[in-house]
Amino acid sequence: MAMAVFRREGRRLLPSIAARPIAAIRSPLSSDQEEGLLGVRSISTQVVRNRMKSVKNIQKITKAMKMVAASKLRAVQGRAENSRGLWQPFTALLGDNPSIDVKKSVVVTLSSDKGLCGGINSTVVKVSRALYKLNSGPEKEVQFVIVGEKAKAIMFRDSKNDIVLSVTELNKNPLNYAQVSVLADDILKNVEFDALRIVYNKFHSVVAFLPTVSTVLSPEIIEKESEIGGKLGELDSYEIEGGETKGEILQNLAEFQFSCVMFNAVLENACSEMGARMSAMDSSSRNAGEMLDRLTLTYNRTRQASITTELIEIISGASALEAAK
């Protein structure tokens, strides 16, 4: 009966450690390897102990990464919320027209350089691809400007012919307006556009980030739209000081708007990246903890099974001697 119990134990042990390569189990080096009397192999305690050690290390690392992400998040969050005030006057003045129909749109995709941050980069890429489909058609074209390594890798696979610029290493120094404005300037100089659509993850809370699109129009389109009417049509009711014409002011405003919107977008994306990394590392630590519990149970069972086998051998040896006497 003890044999039957042991056989059942053996069978239960094997599936739970199925991932471990079989070569390690059959290695002659592991000294506490045992074989049940009916040929059922049990896992050695050494193997389980090694696995437990590595899982514990991983848990410590992911916990540390979560702490680091939390502290970075706290730092960037304040700046992101303050930077929202930069583009709000522009939206009040010029309105937000995501559904505007233009010939050349450029989609600026913001993503992170480092990984292990959950699904935020893939959502941003999905939205960019959807924008591409929405905006392509006869006489219309869409081009991509990609910021960040991760989006570059994903978009390289199928949209590489539409990429115009790619930017990396933006997060090397702490984010500041000077950096983003130089980047915005480079984009303006290298790309012709009628409308710029910036795709990024807006930070709502530590667990909620929504992919958002901000649209910035070029000054010519704004002039055209203002003739048509609507919100932009009221631009004429503003008085212009100085010797500049409306066209020039619109050009300055459009460039500055792009720079401010980019600054806010980059900060919000950084916040979302930290938040996503926090929650990804948190769930990894939790999973590692659960795995550790399961491995501990397995380890104890193996240990007890080996003790039982020894006892059985001793007792059966002793009873054989008794019987022989």
Partner 1 sequence: MASNAAVPFWRAAGMTYITYSNICANLVRNCLKEPFKAESINREKVHFSLSKWSDGKPQKPVLRSDTPQV
**Which residues of the shown chain bind partner 1 in the complex (CB under 8 A)?**
160-161, 163-170, 172-174, 176-179, 181-186, 188-190, 241-244, 248, 251-252, 255-256, 258-259
SS3 state at 250 = helix
Of 116, 115, 273, 106, the closest CA to residue 199 belongs to: 106
Nearest CB to partner 1, comparing residues 171 and 287 = 171
Separation of alpha carbons 144 and 156, rounded Å: 11
Separation of alpha carbons 282 and 89, rounded Å: 38
Separation of alpha carbons 45 and 302, rounded Å: 6
CB of 187 to partner 1, least distance (A): 9
CB of 183 to partner 1, least distance (A): 6
Nearest CB to partner 1, comparing residues 68 and 153 = 153
CB of 171 to partner 1, least distance (A): 9
Nearest CB to partner 1, comparing residues 190 and 283 = 190
Q: Looking at beta carbons, which pairs linking 302-307 to residues 24 or more positions away fall under 8 Å? A: 302/13, 302/42, 302/43, 302/44, 302/45, 302/48, 303/45, 305/6, 305/9, 305/10, 305/13, 305/34, 305/42, 306/32, 306/34, 306/42, 306/45
Nearest CB to partner 1, comparing residues 139 and 241 = 241
CB of 132 to partner 1, least distance (A): 15
- CA quadruple 173, 175, 181, 187: dihedral sign: positive
Separation of alpha carbons 309 and 107, rounded Å: 68
Nearest CB to partner 1, comparing residues 256 and 299 = 256
CB of 160 to partner 1, least distance (A): 4
Of 313, 267, 283, 7, the closest CA to residue 147 belongs to: 267
CB of 166 to partner 1, least distance (A): 5
SS3 state at 137 = strand
**How far is C-alpha 180 from the chain's CA centre?**
22
CB of 259 to partner 1, least distance (A): 5
Nearest CB to partner 1, comparing residues 190 and 319 = 190
At residue 205, φ and ψ (nearest 5 deg) are -160, 180
CB of 267 to partner 1, least distance (A): 14
Nearest CB to partner 1, comparing residues 143 and 302 = 143
Beta-strand pair 141-147/195-205? unpaired
CB of 144 to partner 1, least distance (A): 9
Q: Residue 108 pairs with which residues in a beta bridge?
A: 145, 198
Residue by residue, DSSP assigns 223-249 as HHHHHH-GGGGGGGGS---TT--HHHH
Nearest CB to partner 1, comparing residues 69 and 250 = 250
The Cβ of residue 2 has, within 10 Å, a number of other Cβ atoms equal to 13
Nearest CB to partner 1, comparing residues 157 and 325 = 157
